[in-house]
Amino acid sequence: GQNIDQPTEMTATEGAIVQINCTYQTSGFNGLFWYQQHAGEAPTFLSYNVLDGLEEKGRFSSFLSRSKGYSYLLLKELQMKDSASYLCAVLDSNYQLIWGAGTKLIIKP
């Protein structure tokens, strides 16, 4: 079966750095996405990785290792508004998105 694992919840301090991990086992791979979802709102696109390595976009970076079936989202200089759930999703061989359950990130002052 297809499976995406990410921690259920993480806590971090404002101004700090946090890394959210995602491991996957899917039938084929055509890219990995990270989405942000604030409580009661829709998911919004953060990043897309299809090749190994690090993609940096402002305070957010996303890393991919296809051989290890592993990705992480790195958030720097945390702000209170970063409190949200972060969803990892993999595009499988049929170009269907397989979603993880999401990681709820709590930011404390």
Q: Does residue 69 bind other proteins (CB under 8 A)?
A: no
Neighbours of 105 (CB within 10 A): 21
Q: Does residue 48 bind other proteins (CB under 8 A)?
A: yes
Size of the site for other proteins (CB under 8 A): 22
Stretch that binds other proteins, among 17-25, 40-48, 54-62, 65-73 (CB under 8 A): 40-48
Q: Does residue 90 bind other proteins (CB under 8 A)?
A: no
User: Quick check: 63 and 74 in contact, CB under 8 A?
Assistant: yes
User: Quick check: 59 and 5 in contact, CB under 8 A?
Assistant: no
Nearest to 14 by CA among 72, 60, 73, 82: 82
Q: Give me the residues that bind other proteins (CB under 8 A), please.
A: 4, 8, 30-31, 33, 41-45, 48, 87, 89, 91, 95-102
